[in-house]
Amino acid sequence: MLESNVKIASMHAYASILANAARNGWNYTPESIVSGSKRHFEEMSLQLIAAGYEIVPADAHPHCANLNRAEDNKSTMTEPNTEGSPNHRPRPNPS
């Protein structure tokens, strides 16, 4: 799960919490809103990790074992055989 997606979800949830608090007459300083937002994100992240999710930075490139295996076997890879396909058209011969 991308960290940026967790941040967005956390911000939406925290905004809803703040809106409910404001409707009930609670007022918060800007500093407490910022620190509360950070705490909310950290808590949400911990809950997701405890539930089995992995949170990765947005610029991370997840590891894919199948991709590495495909690159190792690149020399044996061929184009699919589509000759029996009704939409198959032979490639023109470049002359």
Q: Which residues contact 6 (CB under 8 A, 6 or more apart)?
A: 41, 44, 45, 48, 55
More confident residue, 68 or 63: 63
Distances (CA, A) of 92 to 54, 80, 88, 89: 49, 17, 12, 9
Contact (Cβ atoms closer than 8 angstroms) between residue 56 and residue 2: yes
For residues 37 and 30, the answer to whether their CB atoms sit within 8 Å is: no
Interval 9-62: pLDDT, tens: 999 999 999 999 999 999 999 999 999 999 999 999 999 999 999 999 988 766
**The pLDDT value given to residue 77:** 42
Spell out the domain ranges in the chain: 3-69
CA gap 53, 39 in Å, rounded: 19
CA angle 49, 54, 59 (to 5 degrees): 135
pLDDT of residue 76 exceeding 50, the answer is: no
Enumerate the β-bridge partners of residue 2.
Answer: 56
For residue 60, what pLDDT is reported?
73
